[in-house]
Amino acid sequence: MKFWSVHKMQNFEAGDCPGHPPWHSGRVDAAKQKNAANKKEGEKRRDVEPWLAQDPGVASETHRFASLAPDEHNNIERHHTVPHALLHLLSHAAERARTLSAGPISIAVGSAALSGCAGVQSALDPRGEQAHTLAVLFWTFTAVLALVWFLTMAGLIFALAHRRNRRGEPAQPRAAVKRPMLIAFCVMLASSTIILSGLAVLSFGAQKAIFGSGAGAALTISVIGHQWWWQVRYEGDGGFETANEIRIPAGSPVDIKLTTADVIHSFWIPSLAGKLDLIPGKSNELRIQASKPGVYRGQCAEFCGQQHAHMAIFVVALEPREFERWRAGQAAPVKPTAHLGRQGVFTLALLENAQ
């Protein structure tokens, strides 16, 4: 089974943002070898691809979503709450600054950022509740700390400018401590304490909002890290497995149970939530939620060996109705007659193994 090709879904190839990875095919030699070792296990897993090919309705709908221009999409999504509006303003201002500022560096930076395929894998392009909270917190920190930076640099530049050396000036071994400097010192100490305390309180607030124990999510999915792929297990009656791809219903929280079969990995879908490690002998739980249907890329964020760079995963958020349909399709017995192509061979192998 080629795990590296399961993402070649037709619905994502369209649009100006070809985020799905044709780059996986044919390049990951060592990973392939490793996967060959896992082949037997892998063949028991159902591929998600055939379903998409069979269900044109869903595919076209996701397609429509994917081809929305990023900004249009943002507008739909972001104006519900004050922090979201603030975030929107800030990111817009940043974009404008990027495009307006001249000079080769900023042009390169700007073009790189614009070509950056904003929806795929970016902490600055949040598409879920947690990622929103995180981005707002990030921009608040950035604004406050940038102010501190500018004040410090202004002080430094003024210190250099206001009394330049006249050559050969003798040193003052006992410089008097002047009153204004003492006052400035106290102001600096007090204000930095206040600023840091304020930021700490904001951080605690966000931490509570993100990790606070809410009601249990309707859906729990187990993700098991392997060198260098992700095994995804839908628990419960009619449970089934996929690889390197998680399908979730948009708009409702999903708990991801994280364990590892070998070394430490880290599960990270930047546009949905922060990361969390998969550690041997330990089970971690991360909640993710996608506001809208879409495809969100992530990749392993803890160095896990040779092909760490290629350990990617996709979260596909579907309309709840479609998600249920897909889930039911996955859980149902496979009909080997539908498409006797490549997949057909695998399903036959699966049936043989099951007996």
Partner 1 sequence: MSLASEEPHATRDSDLGDEELRARLRKTWGTNGGLIGFLSTVDHKVIGIRYAVTSFAFLLAGGVLALIMRLQLARPDNHLVGAELYNQLFTMHGTTMMFLFGVPVGEAFAIYLVPLMVGTRNIAFPRLNAFSYYVYLFGGLMLWGGFAFSIRPDVGWFSYVPLANLDFTPGKGPDYWAQMITFTEVAALAVSVEIVVTVLKQRAPGMTLDRIPLFVWTMLVHSFIIIFAMPAVMLASSMLIMDRLVTTQFFNADAGGDPLLWQHLFWFFGHPEVYIIFLPGTAFVSAIVATFSRRPVFGYLPMVLSLIAIGFLSFGLWVHHMFVTGLPQVGAAFFTASSMAIAIPNGVQIFCWIATLWDGKPVLKTPLIFVLGFFFIFVTGGLSGVMLASVPIDTQVHDTYFVVAHFHYVLIGGTLFPLVGAVYYWFPKLTGRLMDERLGKWQFALAFIGFNIAFFPMHMLGLLGMPRRVYTYPAEIGWGGLNLLASAGALLFFASFLLMAYNLLVSARKGALAGDNPWDADTLEWATTSPPQPQNFDRIPCLTSGSPLWSRDDDQPVVSGLKVDERELVVTSITEARPDIREESPAPSIWPFVAALATAAAFIGSIYTPWAITWGSPVVALALVAWFWPKTSEENA
The Cα 61–Cα 293 span in angstroms is 10
Q: Which of 69, 85, 97, 108 binds partner 1 (CB under 8 A)?
A: 108
Distance set, CA 129 to CA 80, 94, 215 (Å): 12, 22, 15
Binding region for partner 1 (CB under 8 A) out of 58-66, 78-86, 203-211, 236-244 = 203-211
**Site residue total, partner 1 (CB under 8 A):** 102
Q: Binding of partner 1 at residue 284 (CB under 8 A)?
A: yes
Q: Binding of partner 1 at residue 138 (CB under 8 A)?
A: yes
Q: Which of 53, 86, 219, 279 binds partner 1 (CB under 8 A)?
A: 279
Distance set, CA 228 to CA 35, 37, 118, 153 (Å): 8, 12, 25, 45
Nearer to partner 1, 58 or 137 (CB): 137
Contacts of 345 (CB under 8 A, 6+ apart): none
Are 134 and 122 within 8 A, CB to CB? no
Binding region for partner 1 (CB under 8 A) out of 47-55, 76-84, 296-304, 326-334 = 296-304
Q: Binding of partner 1 at residue 159 (CB under 8 A)?
A: yes
Shortest Å, Cβ 225 to partner 1: 12
Q: Binding of partner 1 at residue 26 (CB under 8 A)?
A: no
Residues in region 166-195 near partner 1 by CB under 8 A: 166, 169-175, 177-178, 181, 184-185, 188-189, 192-193
CA 7 to chain centre: 17
Distance set, CA 33 to CA 28, 255, 325 (Å): 9, 32, 35
Are 4 and 28 within 8 A, CB to CB? yes
Q: Which of 75, 81, 203, 353 binds partner 1 (CB under 8 A)?
A: 203
Binding region for partner 1 (CB under 8 A) out of 43-51, 61-69, 231-239, 294-302 = 294-302
Shortest Å, Cβ 286 to partner 1: 9
How many CA atoms, within 13 angstroms, populate the side-chain half-sphere of residue 28?
Answer: 25
Nearer to partner 1, 150 or 324 (CB): 150
Nearer to partner 1, 46 or 297 (CB): 297
Q: Binding of partner 1 at residue 105 (CB under 8 A)?
A: yes
The Cα 19–Cα 121 span in angstroms is 9
Query: In 3D, which of 49, 45, 1 has the Cα closest to residue 354?
Result: 45
The Cα 244–Cα 163 span in angstroms is 63
Strand blocks (E) in the chain:
219-226, 229-234, 240-243, 245-249, 254-260, 265-267, 276-278, 284-288, 294-299, 312-318
Q: Which of 54, 101, 111, 353 binds partner 1 (CB under 8 A)?
A: 111
Binding region for partner 1 (CB under 8 A) out of 2-10, 55-63, 67-75, 112-120 = 112-120
The Cα 19–Cα 234 span in angstroms is 25
Are 274 and 130 within 8 A, CB to CB? yes
Q: Binding of partner 1 at residue 238 (CB under 8 A)?
A: no
Shortest Å, Cβ 24 to partner 1: 8
Residues in region 249-278 near partner 1 by CB under 8 A: 262-264, 266, 268, 270-271, 273-277
Q: Binding of partner 1 at residue 85 (CB under 8 A)?
A: no
Residues in region 214-233 near partner 1 by CB under 8 A: 227
The Cα 54–Cα 45 span in angstroms is 18
